[in-house]
Amino acid sequence: MNVYKIYLDQLTQLLFNFKSDNNLTFDFNEILTKLTLEPPKSLDHGDMSTNLAMILSKYLSLKPIQIANMFIGYIAKLPGVDEVNVAGPGFINIKLTEKTWNSCLKSILSNEKKWDATDLGNGKKINIEYISANPTGPLHAGHTRGAVFGDALASLLKEVGYEVTKEYYINDAGSQIDKLVNSALLRYEECLGKKIKEIPEGLYPGEYLKEVGQKLVEQFGSDLKSNEPSKVSELVRQVSLDVIMKIIRNDLLRLGIEMDVYTSEKEIISGSLLEKTLSILEDKDLIYKGILDPPKGTKPKNWEEREQLLFKSSNFGDDTDRALKKSDGSWTYFATDMAYHLDKINRTNGNLINVLGADHIGYISRINAAVQALSDGSISIDTKVCSLVNLLEDGKPVKMSKRSGNFVTLSDIIDAVGKDVIRFIMLTRRNDQSLDFDFKKVTEKSKDNPVFYVQYAHARCNSIFKSANVLEKDLLADNFSNLTTKEEIELIKFISLWPRSLELAAKNHEPHRLCYYLIELSSLFHSLWNKGKDDQSFKFIIDNNKKLTNSRLCLVKAVAMTIRKGLKILSIEPVLEM
């Protein structure tokens, strides 16, 4: 039950009647795209606030406050409305009756599985590409944030009705793979008995490559290098990728992530997609041969002023056109990426989301241009950038991992704190803001640790049920007219906000909003519990009042249900005891 949607629908009907009764000619649908009904910034302003008068002002050539005064009488007559007043330049504030909020709680508990249901997605398809780390080593802390963000966003969009495909793009072509092959060959020789005093500069130093070397020995013994050099390179490449991608997949599973699709860059290059992409762009007159201006500022040492095959990226908002081929005739990485996005467009038949690291922020405009060009603007792409994660131990930078060579691995973090802590903490800030992950703080049992604070709220709910000697599932909805304290009504109001919060998080592609909501819900619940310690009349279990006890236990049940719903979307297991 989305109480905000219910009253927004009623406001919409009032507006429609007003337009019809007064023979007005404004565009009704245009008005609806701007009409909002949301919680006011201050509780003193009621339960809901609408901009109806503000947006009608320019259509009626009247001041917003005049329009607001025209509507408050109609709004006051809506079922469940207690008070209506006008604030500021013309915002209309609405307060609902206690009975209305008690009815909301009854509806929530009567429809446990569907009370927050929404048709926002309505079966539309979305492809989310995230992680897509180079397969040259284990996932590290930087990958972890993008992995959690992308997976939580995928789960969130599924929850509101989208058909979601989770995709990992394997960058298994290019110079980094040549470097991986040479690094693996060195470890192969080490496994055969050669002493390696130090890893030469330019190779990957991580000890995880010993697994690759051992695998090569198991498969080829000492005969690997008897093959032609090109064959040796291909054999080592394939074994290296198999071993490392297995490590990556296993680490993701430990984090609660299972991808739907893995796509190989090498297969994109070796197939016909690049030629098909080029043909589409040619047909649209979007490629040409030309000379690019050098980058602004200091000209790079390797800058080469030459005629190139270029994509008219600037036609779609990019700051310059983009090269499709290198001087040696091979495709640029951008050209390959265009072909990959054409593949996603064809497979998905829906919108795209890319989750990238902060180092890729300059790549966004050209990919947006590519998707617009290849889909004729019919497909949208939203690129979410995940900022840096600072790993700390009691405020000090964490030492590097010997196994990885020069970074802290995802596996290290899971071993230290577990997947649930990682998943929650990584979503406690907006994805585009840097985040401090302090191993000491995220394992503290205090209100300053948000994951503990939320889990403790759920465990506390369970403890209350045990103290009352009742099972949560046996608590049935009532009329709840005896829930009248300010704190109880505020808690009911906030629980009723959940469907709206869910939709807003999905619409904005911001799963961190769920964490914020759960933290605030837990805070309201803990405050009410603490009030019961100071004032016996606020306790959830009142020995001489069975009816009030049942109502308050039902309120606790609604809190527990909502916390579980939020944690489930985040793929976090709620705890029963702490």
Q: Convert the pLDDT of each residue in 493-520 to its tens digit.
A: 999 999 999 999 999 999 999 999 999 9
What is the C-alpha separation between 270 and 403, in angstroms, rounded? 33
Q: How far apart are CA 169 and CA 190, in angstroms?
A: 31
Q: How many CB atoms lie within 10 A of CB 52?
A: 26
Asked if residue 364 lies in contact with residue 357, where contact means CB atoms within 8 angstroms, the answer is no
Question: Residue 512's pLDDT is what?
Answer: 98
Q: CA 214: distance to chain centroid?
A: 38
End-to-end CA distance of the chain: 31
Task: State what percent of residues in the chain have pLDDT above 70.
Answer: 98
What is the tens place of the pLDDT at every residue in 270-310?
999 999 999 999 999 999 999 888 777 666 666 677 889 99
Q: How confident is the model at residue 327 (pLDDT cuts 50, 70, 90)?
A: confident
Residue matched to tokens 């236990």 = 553
**What is the set of domains in the chain, with CATH numbers?**
3-96 (3.30.1360.70), 129-170+259-386 (3.40.50.620), 175-254 (no CATH), 391-440 (no CATH), 450-569 (1.10.730.10)
pLDDT of residue 443: 93
Q: CA 483 to CA 488: how far, in whole Å?
A: 6
pLDDT tens string 428-484: 999 999 999 999 999 999 999 999 999 999 999 999 999 999 999 999 888 899 999
Q: What's the mean pLDDT in 225-231?
A: 90
CB-based burial label for 20 (10 Å; 0-12, 13-18, 19+): exposed
Query: What pLDDT is recorded for position 298?
Result: 66
pLDDT for residue 113: 84
Residue 460 makes CB contacts below 8 A (sequence gap 6+) with 525, 526, 529
Which segment, 101-115, 142-156, 223-237, 300-314, is predicted with the most confidence on average?
A: 142-156
* CB 422 within 8 Å of CB 256: no
Rounded Cα gap, residues 60 and 15, in angstroms? 13
Q: Check residue 301 and report its DSSP letter.
A: T
| 19-23, 351-355, 382-386: least confident range | 19-23
pLDDT at 136: 95
Write down the residue that tokens 């869910």 correspond to: 502
The pTM for the full model equals 0.93
In the structure encoding, which two tokens stand for residue 209, read together? 């490559």
DSSP for 515-531, please give it.
HHHHHHHHHHHHHHHHH
Greatest alpha-carbon span in the chain: 92
Average pLDDT over the chain, rounded to whole? 93
The per-residue pLDDT for 561 is 97
Q: What is the pLDDT of residues 50-97, one digit of tens each?
A: 999 999 998 898 999 999 999 999 999 999 999 999 998 899 999 999
pLDDT tens per residue across span 120-163: 999 999 999 999 999 999 999 889 999 999 999 999 999 999 99
How much is the pLDDT for 301?
Answer: 67
Buried b or exposed e, range 90-129, using 16+ CB within 10 angstroms: bbbbbebeeebbbbbbbebbeeeeebbebeebeeeebbbb
Task: Identify the pLDDT of residue 115.
Answer: 87
Report the relative pairing of strands 125-129 and 351-357 from DSSP bridges.
parallel
